[in-house]
Amino acid sequence: MRPSIIKFLKENSITIFWLVVAGFVMSWFIWRDCCTKFAAYLWIGAFTSSMWIALWMGNAYLSQSLDYFFSWHNEPVKRLVAGLVGMVVYTVSAVYGLVFLYRFAFGFNVGNQLDSTYYSTIIITLIITMFMTGRSFLLNWRESAVDAERLKKESVAAQYESLKNQVNPHFLFNSLNALTNLVYEDQDKAAKFIKQLSEVYRYVLDTRDKELVSLAEEVKFLDSYLYLQQIRFGEKLNLKVSLENAKGQVAPLALQMLIENAIKHNVIAEDQPLYIEVRMEGQYIAVENNLQKKNIPGEGSNGIGLENIQRRYEFLSNQKVIVENTGNMFRVKLPVIV
């Protein structure tokens, strides 16, 4: 987020106070010959303090602003060059700007001290530049490391949650029960059911270390998962997936978790069929279902599924997961990562 100037100044008010003190102290030691009168000392101290504040605070704010436009993580060279060029240009402009401001607005003339002031401020700026650049790089590096570790934990939690859902007694019982009926009714369909069941488990295990997967991979896995659910519920569950030729990447198992949540928390019956549709909406994948919530104690959400997906996408994309509840329909839109 781009920093606000007012908020930045408020957060650094104590630093500004000490810069004013440093400016007056510096004026006394460097320009003592010019400070024979108290009024002259005040003007010189005010000018020096203004220079310190303009250089230190201005370059600090510039550094934070550049972090908004250029990421150390994604564009380190651009960020370094922009920082060096921006700070040198800003410093030269700030020095001349303050000199002319004090000369024409207040009648205070720096005089012969201009050259020494210019060169000394350039040296100070280089020191500030190295400090601000190094500080910004280290802070962003630490933040990236923390985010990467947090994303890893979120991904592991998602994999665990999905795997736990697939191996819990209810899922196994329902799958085996459906398989038992198929064995007697249609052996070919039973064989396909076993193959799709193995594909579900294989995909969960294969993607446990991945942050992103292609849409093609996720859709292929989704077909296997939806086949199992369709066999289980029959016409009571209406599934429609419209992701043909879709390009991009998504977080693994995200679509499956959304569909599983819809199945888990809604009534599915012959007189109350559940409709689930997965489709593209611009740069998002929308997963939508009609709302007919269960009113069974203990069936409430444990908060892991949707919240986990939202937290993972905070690290994977600048676009947020969109959740819409109209009362009749529940829709979740996941950003497609290109």
Single out the residue in 115, 147, 179 at which a domain terminates: 147
Q: Is residue 155 part of a domain?
A: no
Please indicate, yes or no, whether residues 193 and 328 belong to a single structural domain of this protein: yes
Per-residue pLDDT at 119: 63
335: which strand partners?
A: 284
Please indicate, yes or no, whether residues 137 and 182 belong to a single structural domain of this protein: no
Please indicate, yes or no, whether residues 194 and 129 belong to a single structural domain of this protein: no
Segment (H or E) for 37: none
Please indicate, yes or no, whether residues 212 and 98 belong to a single structural domain of this protein: no
Please indicate, yes or no, whether residues 140 and 223 belong to a single structural domain of this protein: no
Please indicate, yes or no, whether residues 298 and 254 belong to a single structural domain of this protein: yes
Q: 8 and 42 in contact (C-beta within 8 Å)?
A: no
Rounded-to-integer distance, Cα 288 and Cα 255, Å: 11
Express each pLDDT in 124-181 by its tens digit: 666 766 776 677 677 766 676 666 666 666 665 555 455 445 444 566 667 777 788 7
Please indicate, yes or no, whether residues 126 and 186 belong to a single structural domain of this protein: no
Express each pLDDT in 166-200 by its tens digit: 444 566 667 777 788 778 778 888 888 888 888 88
Please indicate, yes or no, whether residues 18 and 115 belong to a single structural domain of this protein: yes
> How many degrees, rounded to 5, is the angle at CA 327 between CA 324 and CA 333?
20
Q: Is residue 157 part of a domain?
A: no
Q: Is residue 153 part of a domain?
A: no
Domain that holds residue 277: 168-335
Please return the burial class of 272, using the count of CB atoms within 10 Å of its CB with bins 0-12, 13-18 and 19+. exposed
Per-residue pLDDT at 32: 58
Q: Is residue 163 part of a domain?
A: no
Q: 241 φ, ψ to 5°?
A: -115, 120
Task: Specify the number of domains making up the chain.
Answer: 2
Per-residue pLDDT at 289: 95
Single out the residue in 147, 182, 215 at which a domain terminates: 147
Q: What is the pLDDT along the chain (338 residues), one digit of tens a residue?
A: 566 778 877 887 888 888 788 777 776 666 656 556 666 667 777 777 787 788 878 877 887 788 778 776 667 778 778 877 887 788 878 877 887 787 777 776 665 554 555 566 667 666 766 776 677 677 766 676 666 666 666 665 555 455 445 444 566 667 777 788 778 778 888 888 888 888 888 887 888 778 789 999 999 999 988 988 888 888 899 999 998 888 899 988 889 889 988 988 899 999 999 999 999 998 999 999 999 988 765 554 444 578 878 877 887 788 889 999 998 999 999 999 88
**pTM score above 0.75:** no
Q: What is the CATH number of the domain that holds 286?
A: 3.30.565.10
Please indicate, yes or no, whether residues 182 and 320 belong to a single structural domain of this protein: yes
Single out the residue in 147, 179, 214 at which a domain terminates: 147
Please indicate, yes or no, whether residues 135 and 19 belong to a single structural domain of this protein: yes
Q: Is residue 112 part of a domain?
A: yes
Please indicate, yes or no, whether residues 189 and 223 belong to a single structural domain of this protein: yes
Q: Is residue 156 part of a domain?
A: no
Please indicate, yes or no, whether residues 173 and 127 belong to a single structural domain of this protein: no
